[in-house]
Chain A
Amino acid sequence: MMKKFIIQVNGPAYGSTSSYKALQYCQAVIAAGHQIEKVFFYQDGVTNSSSLNCPASDEVNLYQLWLRLANEHNVPLINCVSAALRRGVLSQQDAYESNKAHWNVDAPFVMGGLGELVTGIEQADRFVSF
């Protein structure tokens, strides 16, 4: 029977393997016929959403893999905006509001509040944290 999953990513884009495991887990959930309601990036997890991450061309590009997951399977990718702003991870709107010349978060990543994590947990059958 199909289950609805919410995935929380707390680890950085680089420096630990937890985010890559989260991505692989999402792929496995979808392959098994389940649904990912959303991936919520919290703590250092928000660094996954930075379009300025530039790994060498022969290394895993986690940012691109998240994009592919979102585009191919229609998975919402949501940043906790407070956690992101503290770490220099900004959308165009955030940059405008904070009077910054640059930003590094674009669609399909979107900014959201912690409330979206709570309501997501409430609605999902399974909550898995990385």
Chain B
Amino acid sequence: MKHICVVFRHAPFGATSSREGIDFALLSASFEQQLCLVFTDEAVLHLLADQQPELAGSKDYVSVFKAFDLYDIEHVLVCETSLQRFGLTLEDLAISAQLASSTVITEQLQQADEVLVF
């Protein structure tokens, strides 16, 4: 088992990298790796409620986020600075996530065996 940190940096639906990153994260979790997900920059927008990915011709991979618990993905960090930049708070998010300062995110990256950025 390895400690894998998956970092999301892109806005939803403009590119497909997040969708394929989520696929990787869920697969890693089902292979019983220790996972930490970090949403930063525009990727924090993935976590907003009431999204309609179909309107952008995208598969609804966002609703999968509610299943993170089922996959035993406990560590979901949201970059505090990025949220503030969009005028958002944790209450705006559709899933429960941990507000993280850049220091906390740095610690997670240092603790991880491998880091993947999508």
Residues of B within 8 A of A127 (CB): 114
A114 and B24 alpha carbons, distance in the complex (Å):
7
Residues of B within 8 A of A114 (CB): 23-24, 27
Taking a contact as CB atoms under 8 Å apart, the answer to whether A83 and B117 are in contact is no
Contact of B4 among A10, A83, A121 (CB under 8 A): A121
Residues of B within 8 A of A8 (CB): 116
Least CB distance from A47 to B in Å reads 13
> Number of residues in B with C-beta < 8 Å to the partner?
15
Least CB distance from B26 to A in Å reads 9
Main secondary structure of the interface of B (DSSP, over half): mixed
The reply on A43 being an interface residue by CB < 8 A is yes
Main secondary structure of the interface of A (DSSP, over half): helix
The reply on B1 being an interface residue by CB < 8 A is yes
- Against A, the Cβ 8 Å flags (1 = close, 0 = not) of B29-52 are 001010000000000000000000
Q: A114-B27, A115-B31 are in contact. Are A121 and B114 (CB under 8 A)?
A: yes
